[in-house]
Amino acid sequence: MLDWGNQFNICCFLDNNNYHSPNHQYEAILAADALHTLEVNAGNAFPALQQFYNTHQDWLFGHLAYDLKNETVPGLQSQHFDGIGFPDMCFFLPRVVMQLQEGQVHIGGEAFSEQDAYAVFTACLRMPVNVTPVRNSRLQPLRSRLDHQRYITAVKELQQHILRGDCYEVNFCRENYMEEVSVYPRALFAQLNALSPAPFAAYYRLHNRYMACSSPERFMQKKGNTVISQPIKGTSRKDPDPVIDQQLQQQLLNNAKERAENVMVVDLVRNDLSHTALQGTVKVTELFGIYSFAHVHHMISTVAAQLSPQLPFTEVLRTSFPMGSMTGAPKMRVMQLIEQYEQTRRGLYSGAVGYITPTGDFDFNVVIRSMLYNADNQYLSFQTGSAITFYCDPEKEWEECLLKAAAMEKTIIG
């Protein structure tokens, strides 16, 4: 499916990697070849998306980039360097949609016949596979605009903001990048997805800009008048010994620091949803759920709310974006601090990729554990970060960033 879709200038592939959940409708879904496209930057993007949907009322796929914050919170801006260049928002109406579900594939499109669908199906089966993700990468070092000393200084200054009461927690990120590197993005995604399969994995192509994503986190899903958000805060490693692994899960569940951070982001999500939810309908349906993934356990909570049937669906997105798990609390102040202390624009990183259905439902992930690539300038970028609190150790936060970066670099060089 993906190899076939990737031949078009615009495509989006979403894969749950056989992660069984009642909230996952499809094993995988592919949208390819744009019939109509909306591409806008922050300013009037969410009303433009609503108008785009009202005009077509069909499947839409695309992204919300982090810098839409400049529209959702007046006074914010983004002045830093951006080597990738995704627009703040892009959605497209695909010519072809393929849905993989319980051993079946459903293929549809504009004025599609059964013969058209079968032609796409057979074309997918015949696609050659390229498995060489990177060429000449060993000649190019992994670089960052935030070195060790500047990072430590920034974390200590953020802790002083916390001490003064400006905020409680800041999600602080650091870009890693390579220049003049030749990448085959489709195979890069295959490598990333093989090393770290996740329920919100995604491959996204917008002309010569690409994203390979191995995200475990859902930003928000809407089904009918119900919306859920599922923030992640809290992580522990897995162990092959079942007894030790069970102990690690229990330790994560009982970890006071992880629980405090999880509650903090849950409260933030509750507040975000309260702006559009019917009064009294915002509920925490699960708190401190421990879920297992390929290499780690995560603490995930679920917040649900009911919306008015008359509410434009873009309103709940606008009032909840960006997601609290990637900002900190309180959201407006920490986004100002993020702009002050980070050195590059986040762009698509810590944004969201997903789809909107013809009935106005939607499902979006959180763009983390992701690599972004611009084929025109041969610039490869990925960001790593952590939650900064007053009691955290700046050196350990630095080591965590390096550890995460090393894992991502392994995807590049094999």
Catalytic residues: 217, 233
Strand runs labelled E in 322-378: 328-329, 352-356, 362-365, 370-374
Contact, 53 vs 124, CB < 8 A?
A: no
Burial class of 396 by CB neighbour count within 10 A (0 to 12, 13 to 18, 19+): exposed
* 235: Cβ contacts below 8 Å, ≥ 6 apart: 252, 258, 296, 297, 298, 299
The tokens of 363 are what? 């499902």
Which residue has tokens 């069970």? 246
Contact, 367 vs 230, CB < 8 A?
A: no
Per-residue DSSP letter, 118? H
Q: Is 221 helix (H, G, I), strand (E, B) or coil?
A: strand
* 10: Cβ contacts below 8 Å, ≥ 6 apart: 32, 33, 34, 37, 92, 94, 205, 206, 207
The tokens of 46 are what? 């969410």
Look at the chain and count its residues. Answer: 414
The tokens of 354 are what? 């997903």
Chain centre to alpha carbon of residue 209: 16
Per-residue DSSP letter, 369? S
Bridge-based pairing of strands 182-183 and 209-215 is unpaired
Contact, 401 vs 386, CB < 8 A?
A: yes
The tokens of 285 are what? 């349906």
How far apart are alpha carbons 100 and 1 in whole angstroms? 9
- 13: amino acid identity, one letter: F
